[in-house]
Amino acid sequence: MHNSYLRVEGVEKRFKQHTALKNVSFDIRKNEFVCLLGPSGCGKTTLLRIIAGLEEPDAGRIFAGGKDITALPPAKRNFGIVFQSYALFPNLTALQNIEFGLRARKYEKKRIKEKAMEALALVELLHVKDKYPAQLSGGMQQRVSLARAIALEPDFLLLDEPLSALDAKVREKLRNEIRSVQEKLGITTIMVTHDQEEALTMADRIFVMDQAEIKQAGTPQEIYHKPNQPFVADFIGSMNFLNESMETAIRPEHVVVEEGKGTAAVIEAIEFKGPVYRVKVRMTEAASKFYNQQIIIDLSAYAAKEINLERGNVISISLPESRLLDFKEQVVS
């Protein structure tokens, strides 16, 4: 890639008999926010640790800003890291925690405090600078960790499941905050997550991983609308697979329900999910090539008003050709 800021080239990692990473290669541009997304055990954390220098690859190279950093120890890589577990010193205040990291950089004492205060201001925590970690909520502790990482003005920010220990509301708020700090500073960021919604809302690009490999790399829209294989299609969002070989699929929100058009299906279950109704139907028309197939449909409240939503009722559904995903013709990477 022309303007690669971080390049991972042919990285391999084994732990005894277990392959954690298989020939992983990619480029990341300056200022990009990339999420490594995948199920537990797929190798996300191992990849992040190799980039940080905390783990040695068995093969392959890492380049940062064009320089080969494969052999550099973590301290020489200028990466800021935030872990799931905050990793703050309990006996130091929020401000002191940030100052601690800066001391290793040999700034003047006054400058250290200034920089720590600036970082705290950026995460909007100046008012709790003298509090100890135990006096702060989980979300606040994680913001202190973030401030500590960015105070060092790293070239890269590496986030390892930073939000997964927090409850849903705080998590959502922090998503926006992390993204806004990242954009303000223009800092190239890689975040590990197994939460697809987090990846879809935060990332410029998502690398979907499974079984030690990157299966697809693309924008959230590409990953959602043009998954390159059944695994990606199934892992992100909900998907109806229309035959046993999983070659044809359609998203629940793309199924059309229109009286008198399409084929007959009987409603088997209705679930109210707030913005949509999730309706499970079974195709009942013997002539249909999807006869007896169960299909999930997401209907907006508006669309739901048009039909008689009741278990046992027969409705007409159609699966628009333009919305069908066909994995037969795609080259699986």
What burial letters (b/e) apply to 93-117, b meaning 16+ CB within 10 Å?
bbbebbbebbeeeeeeeeebbebbb
Q: Should residue 18 be labelled a site residue for ligand ATP when binding is judged by CB under 6 A?
A: yes
* C-beta separation of 88 from 165 below 8 A: no
Handedness of CA 177, 181, 183, 188 (dihedral sign): negative
Q: Which residue is nearest to ligand ATP (CB)?
A: 45
Alpha-carbon distance 280 to 294, whole Å? Answer: 7
In the list 4, 29, 32, 41, the residue contacting ligand ATP (rule: CB under 6 A) is: 41
In the list 7, 44, 129, 215, the residue contacting ligand ATP (rule: CB under 6 A) is: 44
Q: Should residue 166 be labelled a site residue for ligand ATP when binding is judged by CB under 6 A?
A: no
* C-beta separation of 311 from 267 below 8 A: yes
* C-beta separation of 308 from 267 below 8 A: no
Q: Should residue 45 be labelled a site residue for ligand ATP when binding is judged by CB under 6 A?
A: yes
Residues pairing with 295 in the sheet: 281
Q: Nearer Cβ to ligand ATP, position 129 or 194? A: 194
Give the shortest CB-301-to-ligand ATP separation in angstroms: 36
In the list 33, 38, 57, 136, the residue contacting ligand ATP (rule: CB under 6 A) is: 38
In the list 42, 50, 203, 279, the residue contacting ligand ATP (rule: CB under 6 A) is: 42
Q: Choose the stretch contacting ligand ATP; rule: CB under 6 A; options: 40-48, 172-180, 241-249, 290-298.
A: 40-48
Q: Nearer Cβ to ligand ATP, position 44 or 129? A: 44
Q: Should residue 40 be labelled a site residue for ligand ATP when binding is judged by CB under 6 A?
A: yes
Q: Nearer Cβ to ligand ATP, position 20 or 128? A: 20
Q: Should residue 162 be labelled a site residue for ligand ATP when binding is judged by CB under 6 A?
A: no
* C-beta separation of 188 from 5 below 8 A: yes
Comparing CA positions, the residue from 193, 111, 187 lying closest to residue 149 is 187
Q: Should residue 20 be labelled a site residue for ligand ATP when binding is judged by CB under 6 A?
A: yes
Q: Should residue 58 be labelled a site residue for ligand ATP when binding is judged by CB under 6 A?
A: no
Give the shortest CB-177-to-ligand ATP separation in angstroms: 23
Q: Nearer Cβ to ligand ATP, position 44 or 148? A: 44
Alpha-carbon distance 314 to 189, whole Å? Answer: 50
Q: Should residue 194 be labelled a site residue for ligand ATP when binding is judged by CB under 6 A?
A: yes
Beta strands in the chain (DSSP E): 4-15, 18-29, 33-37, 59-64, 67-68, 79-83, 156-160, 188-193, 205-210, 213-218, 240-241, 248-250, 256-257, 263-272, 276-283, 294-300, 314-318, 325-326
> Which residues here bind ligand ATP, judged by CB under 6 A?
15, 18, 20, 38, 40-46, 194
